Amino acid sequence: MKTNTILLTAGLFALATAATARAEVDFAKQIAPILEKRCVECHGAEKKKGKLRLDSRAEAFGKEDVLIAGKADESELYRRVILPADDDDIMPAEGDPLSKAEQDLLRDWINEGAKWPEELVLGGQADAPAQVAIEWPPEHKASDAEKKAVAKLNELGIAVRPIAQNSTWLTANLRVYSGEFNDELVTALGQVTGLVDLNLANTKINDAMLAKLAPLKNLMTLHLENTQVTDTGLKHLAGMEYLHYLNLYGTAITDEGLAQLKDHQRLRKLYAWQTKATAEGATKLKESNPDLSVNLGESLIVVAEKKEEEKKEGEKK
Ligand code: HEC
């Protein structure tokens, strides 16, 4: 009887500690999505409001007082997001204030040292096609249908621009598009075969809509991060043989999706953190494309693997 009571007490104690011990905030899973969805549109490579970028570790720490590891209360990044909703200085400068839960996550993350793995660059803007030496598709001349589609997109408020002066290659960024994202729009996009760079991050693009983009065979960079795209949708990318950069972070893709990318021999950068893809799947894909770098939030995974190894070492002894 006595032993039972002791066991029961020990069990309750274990339960109680499990409930109070909170895991450390995970940058890739919990902080990056907040910055990506609410801050980077104004504090990224394109717009640098207040001369501040929040899309990489180096940038975010590069400006005095914005982030002070271990001291949320002194970090401008946290101070700005907890201001009253009607304060002129509140961030984000537009839209609803962050939820209390999001504010608390930012606070805890900073107080725990503001850990931000170097290779996790939000939005991947640093990899625009013009900046890397890569193979371009053969010359392109816009058809009448394509010109019409561009006009239609312009009407909808979407800028489809040449990637450089006098270039026939085009770029479009719908990441912060505020109009309705519907089939009509996607159909028009699918006719603009001069597109080499397309950003659909954070949009309502889904697997069925992706089918309409299959004709975009000249695409070199494609952003699909934070969308509903799954493995099923990836098969529509099969004909995009010049694809050099693909961002799938924050989607529901798995190792099966990764395997479907093995014929994309020109692919060099694949972002798949915060998905169901695993290091095993990434390694397999690299076997058929050794020049590819797959970003799974690697340092996080490496750390986990190391711990696992240490544990095994310990068991052997
Ligand atoms: C709609 C655009 C917009 C969004 C979205 C936005 N900001 Fe800002 N931010 C600005 C502007 C404009 C300034 C410069 C004016 C000022 O300091 O208030 C600024 C300034 C700042 C500063 C001060 C920089 C310094 O050097 O002191 C911080 C910190 C900041 N923002 C953080 C954030 C965070 C964190 C988010 C997301 C939760 C965010 N911002 C979202 C427009 C924006």
Q: What share of the chain is helix, strand, coil (3-state, %, to 5)?
A: 40, 10, 50
How many whole angstroms from its chain centre is CA 127?
Answer: 13
Quick one: pLDDT at residue 317? 44
Residue 152: CB within 6 Å of ligand 1? no
Q: Is the full-model pTM beyond 0.85? A: no
Query: How far does the centroid of ligand 1 lie from the alpha carbon of residue 43, in Å?
Result: 7
Q: Within the chain, where are the H helices?
A: 2-20, 32-38, 57-61, 76-81, 100-111, 144-155, 183-189, 207-211, 231-234, 255-259, 279-288, 298-316
Residue 264: CB within 6 Å of ligand 1? no
Residue 100, SS3?
Answer: helix
Tokens representing 182 are 């519907």
Residue nearest to atom 16 of ligand 1 (CA): 50
One-letter amino acid of 54: L
Residue 43: CB within 6 Å of ligand 1? yes
Residue 80: CB within 6 Å of ligand 1? yes
Quick one: pLDDT at residue 310? 53
> What would the pLDDT profile of 209-218 be if each residue is shown by its tens digit?
999 999 999 9
> What would the pLDDT profile of 254-272 be if each residue is shown by its tens digit?
999 999 999 999 998 899 9
What backbone phi and psi angles, to 5 degrees, belong to 277?
Answer: -70, 150
Query: How far does the centroid of ligand 1 lie from the alpha carbon of residue 89, in Å?
Result: 8
Query: How far does the centroid of ligand 1 lie from the alpha carbon of residue 66, in Å?
Result: 10
Residue nearest to atom 29 of ligand 1 (CA): 77
Pairing type for strands 245-247 and 221-223 reads: parallel
Sequence-distant (≥ 6) Cβ neighbours of residue 152 within 8 angstroms: 188
Residue 205: CB within 6 Å of ligand 1? no
Residue 89: CB within 6 Å of ligand 1? yes
Query: How far does the centroid of ligand 1 lie from the alpha carbon of residue 86, in Å?
Result: 15
Closest CA to 270 of 100, 127, 153, 72: 127
Q: How far apart are CA 278 and CA 273, in angstroms?
A: 9
Quick one: pLDDT at residue 134? 65
CA trace torsion 132, 217, 286, 207 (10° rounding)? 120
Annotation: CATH topology of 124-302: 3.80.10
What DSSP state is assigned to residue 216? -
Residue nearest to atom 43 of ligand 1 (CA): 93
Across-strand partners of 295?
271
Residue 36: CB within 6 Å of ligand 1? no
What are the structural domain ranges in the chain?
24-116, 124-302
Query: How far does the centroid of ligand 1 lie from the alpha carbon of residue 93, in Å?
Result: 6
Residues 268, 293 contacting (CB under 8 angstroms): yes
Residue nearest to atom 24 of ligand 1 (CA): 50
Quick one: pLDDT at residue 259? 96
Across-strand partners of 293?
269
Quick one: pLDDT at residue 36? 86
User: How many CB atoms within 10 Å of residue 242?
Assistant: 19
* Test site for ligand 1: of 80, 87, 104, most ligand atoms within 8 A of the Cβ: 80
Residue 222: CB within 6 Å of ligand 1? no
Residue 50: CB within 6 Å of ligand 1? yes
Q: How far apart are CA 28 and CA 38, in angstroms?
A: 15
Quick one: pLDDT at residue 13? 46
Q: Closest ligand 1 atom to the C-alpha of 51? A: 26
Residue 42: CB within 6 Å of ligand 1? yes
Q: How far apart are CA 238 and CA 167, in angstroms?
A: 26
Tokens representing 10 are 């020990």
Across-strand partners of 170?
162, 195
Longest dimension (CA), the chain: 87
Digits of tens for pLDDT over the chain (317 positions)? 444 444 444 444 444 444 445 788 988 888 988 998 899 989 988 889 999 999 988 899 988 899 999 999 999 999 999 999 999 999 999 999 999 999 999 999 999 999 988 777 786 444 444 334 567 888 889 999 999 999 999 999 999 998 887 888 999 999 888 899 999 999 999 999 999 999 999 999 999 999 999 999 999 999 999 999 999 999 999 999 999 999 999 999 999 999 999 999 999 889 998 899 998 999 999 999 988 888 887 544 444 444 455 555 555 44
